[in-house]
Amino acid sequence: MCNREPDEKRLSQKEIKYAKGYYENMETYFQQVAWQYMPNMQRSEADQRIVRPNLMSHVFIKAKVSVVGVDDEEVDLAAN
């Protein structure tokens, strides 16, 4: 059994290899095509290009059907 990062535990080894290769190919492509003309978007600033959700914002939902306990989350929603 191999030790994997927590964010890789749901992917098979082949899926991980594919995803990493895809990411590297996209980085190379964008560097050659666009980022060389945008100095503020260089690879060293890759984290700034990643869009992350605001986990501190409010979310409003409306359930179409009743939902009780999903996975490990405490979720109890009444319909409507």
Instruction: Give per-residue pLDDT as tens, 36-78.
Output: 777 666 555 566 667 778 888 988 888 888 877 766 667 777 8
What is the pTM for the complete model shown? 0.40
Q: Would 68 be classed as within a structural domain?
A: no
State how many domains the chain has.
Answer: 1
Q: Is residue 79 one of the residues assigned to a domain?
A: no
Domain of 32? 13-49
> Is residue 72 in some structural domain?
no
| Residue 37 within any structural domain of the chain | yes
| Inside any domain, residue 70 | no
38-75 burial: b if 16+ Cβ within 10 Å, else e: eeebeeeeeeeeeeeeeeeeeeeeeeeeeeeeeeeeee
In a domain, 69, yes or no: no
Residue 1 has pLDDT above 50, yes or no: no
Residue 36 lies in a domain: yes
